[in-house]
Structure 1
Amino acid sequence: MNSNREWELISHEIKEEKEVPRPSLTYWQDAWRRLRKNSLAMIGFVAIILIVLVAILGPMVSKVSYSDQVLELANIPPRFERVDIGDGHYVYVHKEYKLIEVTENGEILGVANKLKEDKVGRKVTYEIGGKEVVLDYSGVKKKKKNDNPAEETAKYKILVEGKAVDLSNSKKVFNKSYLLGTDGMGRDIWIRVLYGARISLTVGLVASLVNLLIGIIYGGIAGYEGGRLDNIMMRIVDIINSIPSLLIVILLMVVIGPGLNTIIMTIGLIYWVSMARLVRGQVLSLKEQEFVLAARALGVSKTKIILKHLIPNAMGPIIVSLTMSIPSAIFTEAFLSFIGLGVSAPEASWGTLANDALGVIRSYPYQLVAPAVAIAITMFAFNFLGDGLRDALDPRLRK
């Protein structure tokens, strides 16, 4: 083979045909492209959007409010055993041994009309559909700590006009009137969980925005000025950081008083130290760059340099930190509400719902499951999104 043919130059037209055109992407477009490829981050992003929409729209379209009480329908689970007593009538036998009329598909109609009650004989007589219905729970033993559940075979009896109802035909159905059941005061847990999402998300978002504002200003000034001012400002941060943040929040809540506004203010005043450290570190690494030196040479003021040049170039880590601070604020609010320093009754937050359910956890565990699952889903969603943003906004991972 001729060696000259191996080094033959190709024409410009052939060279252009070989090139694959690729549109140029900005930093944020490239970050969004990488974020979309992260399945867990997108799951968290969609979950957050759904939580926000349900929290806003759910209570608006509901027929009942978070504070509406129906004491007769207290402690009804989200799934119960429906008993067919004939003639198209169905009842649910409550754990407190009262008959509640329900439909075949699980809708709550209300407590049956009570005619008389024999507490000594442990019998209650109702009137349902023009017939006398007796709930006999005299054979039910009270469970003791040392009892073996397998040995408890006695069950209540239902008699319609003196004739026993076959309880083997009972069927488990979902509660169509109260999706997550009711609490000890007959309030709809589903609506209260949605209303609690409003409070928790509001606290998380507003407190994080306050942290962002204070942290950017404080950290930006400390990092740009440097020297003695930086040392003094950072020693103040070290003092605040040396005391457990939760302890300071609790002390402020005790002094100022519980309430939603107090929670937002106290969390916002304490949780900014990590953001200030982050912003200071970013500003220290950026302030010696050429574009900052050029701005100084042109006579741009310090405020404009910090706000228009340094902070925008550090937005990647700041956004990640902001996303991670939201679940921390939500969890802090839930904990404060759980120990009684949160919102006041009858307002509901996930922490107060968990606190209310703690006393009846053995009898009605579903009341604790609902707020616990809501908190867990929200925590996972924000953490998945935060991890995805950290990977997407890291310039070293650009491809």
Structure 2
Amino acid sequence: MNNNVETLPKELFEPAAPDREQSELIAKPQLSFMQDAWMRIRKNKGAVASLFVIVILILMAIIGPHLSKSGPYAQDTSRANLPPRIPVIEKLGIFDGSQTVGGQKVNMYEQNHIHTYYWFGTDALGRDLFARAWQGTRISLYIAFLAALIDMLIGVSYGLISGYKGGQVDNVMQRIIEILSGIPNLIVVILMLLIFKPGIFSITIAMVITGWLNMARVVRGQVLKLKNMEYVLAAKTLGASNMRILFKHLLPNLTGVIIINTMFTIPSAIFFEAFLSFIGIGLQSPAASLGTLIEDGYKTFQFLPYLMAVPGTIICLLLVAFNLLADGLRDAFDPKMRD
């Protein structure tokens, strides 16, 4: 046995003194629930692109009607049914104001000695379709955000009270919802037309009556699950009032569900208004909405396709963008989708 083997001192095997400052140091900054959700939304390219499109459409709905010299309602029959003409792009041979007449391609602007550019063309009464399209987008967005506001004010409040009170109060409130949900929205709008004139006001009243039912059901279901959680029972034990429990403990935990359902409500409201205006019981001419513009354009779609293509494209962008953004928000607020 070799006795010359060098042995290491025991001091080398003693544990190092713990550095308490380094061991308790937080490596990453603390994030709130909303900050964490925003970080995950930014990773969703579809949601980010949709948000960008929505912002552009909202800005154009605000400033678009003012960019036209004639405005959305000014008529000039000498400039009726002019095709789109866009500066610079016209040099590429597209959107140059040309139209096929009698089998020949004719520049309608040069033929009528018109020097004004109509980016989206004009309708049968010579009204600027660019201004009318963005005016119609403004009306559609108004209806959409009104539906979202009704959801958050009436639907959330109704669902909170129904789910938290429970018992006989919940039974009565749910029977009211079942009665209202059994009446189709279209029937409610028609009934409103018997009292009020067709227009935004009658649509608003119809949405106030039935537009919040789905949100109330969703919020009630979540409250029934949350009201027996430990933190709610602890708040009751400490003597917290019902209003404090509802708005300080339950409502913050329902934020994700409320935002997601509100975002899905917006495209439904846009389509609802467009449908009503298209069948003639919504907004009436000369008022401009995406539904009325599509109704005006579909009759001459084979000859003047731009009259229907412009408002149809805008409403498709709105519906797709809001739905993609709602999907992104649902993934961001869903704890099961965490990375």
Q: Say yes or no: TM over 0.5.
A: yes
Distance 1:91 1:345, change over 3 A: closer
- Please, which of 197, 221, 234 is the counterpart of residue 294 of structure 1? 234
- Give the equivalent residue in structure 2 for 1:328: 268
Moved more, 206-215 or 317-326: 206-215
- Give the equivalent residue in structure 2 for 1:31: 37
- Give the equivalent residue in structure 2 for 1:243: 183
Distance 1:109 1:17, change over 3 A: farther
Q: C-alpha displacement at 1:198, in angstroms? A: 0.6
In the TM superposition, 1:168-317 aligns within 5 A as 177-317=117-257
1:48 aligns with 2:54: yes
**Cα deviation digits, residues 236-292 of structure 1 (max 9, x gap):** 212222333333334333443211122122123211110000110111111112222
- Give the equivalent residue in structure 2 for 1:67: 73
One-letter amino acid matched to 1:111: N
- Report which of the two structures shows the higher radius of gyration computed on alpha carbons: 1
Distance 1:77 1:288, change over 3 A: same
Query: Is the contact made by 1:338 and 1:351 (CA closer than 8 Å) also made in structure 2?
Result: yes
Distance 1:100 1:187, change over 3 A: farther
Q: Report the Cα distance in structure 1 between the residues aligned to 2:213 and 2:315, rounded to whole angstroms.
A: 25
One-letter amino acid matched to 1:280: R
Q: Report the Cα distance in structure 2 between the residues aligned to 1:275 and 1:391, rounded to whole angstroms.
A: 19
- Please, which of 305, 310, 317 is the counterpart of residue 370 of structure 1? 310
Moved more, 193-202 or 16-25: 16-25
Query: Is the contact made by 2:163 and 2:224 (CA closer than 8 Å) also made in structure 1?
Result: yes
**Cα deviation digits, residues 345-398 of structure 1 (max 9, x gap):** 222000000111122122111111111111110001100110111111112333
Q: C-alpha displacement at 1:180, in angstroms? A: 1.2
Q: Report the Cα distance in structure 2 between the residues aligned to 1:14 and 1:212, rounded to whole angstroms.
A: 48
- Please, which of 334, 350, 368 is the counterpart of residue 290 of structure 2? 350
Query: Is the contact made by 2:67 and 2:131 (CA closer than 8 Å) also made in structure 1?
Result: no
Query: Is the contact made by 1:207 and 1:265 (CA closer than 8 Å) also made in structure 2?
Result: no
One-letter amino acid matched to 2:55: I
Q: C-alpha displacement at 1:191, in angstroms? A: 1.1
- Please, which of 8, 15, 34 is the counterpart of residue 9 of structure 1? 15
Structure that is richer in strand per residue? 1
**Cα deviation digits, residues 279-328 of structure 1 (max 9, x gap):** 10111111112222233233333233222221121111001101110111
Query: Is the contact made by 2:66 and 2:131 (CA closer than 8 Å) also made in structure 1?
Result: no
**Cα deviation digits, residues 157-190 of structure 1 (max 9, x gap):** xxxxxxxxxxxxxxxxxx9711111111111111
Q: Report the Cα distance in structure 2 between the residues aligned to 1:182 and 1:271, rounded to whole angstroms.
A: 35
**Cα deviation digits, residues 188-222 of structure 1 (max 9, x gap):** 11111100011000111012201221111111111
One-letter amino acid matched to 1:201: L
In the TM superposition, 1:15-164 aligns within 5 A as 16=22, 21-78=27-84, 95=101, 108=109, 111=112
> Partner of 1:12: helix, strand, or coil?
coil
Q: Report the Cα distance in structure 1 between the residues aligned to 2:13 and 2:297, rounded to whole angstroms.
A: 82
Distance 1:385 1:112, change over 3 A: closer
- Give the equivalent residue in structure 1 for 2:93: none
Aligned CA RMSD, in angstroms, stands at 3.2
Structure that is richer in helix per residue? 2
Q: TM-score, normalised by structure 2?
A: 0.85
Distance 1:93 1:341, change over 3 A: closer
Q: Report the Cα distance in structure 1 between the residues aligned to 2:97 and 2:235, rounded to whole angstroms.
A: 78
Q: Give the percent of matched residue pairs that are identical in Structure 1 and Structure 2.
A: 41
Distance 1:78 1:7, change over 3 A: farther
Query: Is the contact made by 2:65 and 2:130 (CA closer than 8 Å) also made in structure 1?
Result: no
Number of residues of Structure 1 aligned to a counterpart in Structure 2: 324
> Partner of 2:121: helix, strand, or coil?
coil
Q: TM-score, normalised by structure 1?
A: 0.73
Distance 1:112 1:39, change over 3 A: closer
Moved more, 384-393 or 5-14: 5-14
**Cα deviation digits, residues 124-180 of structure 1 (max 9, x gap):** xxxxxxxxxxxxxxxxxxxxxxxxxxxxxxxxxxxxxxxxxxxxxxxxxxx971111
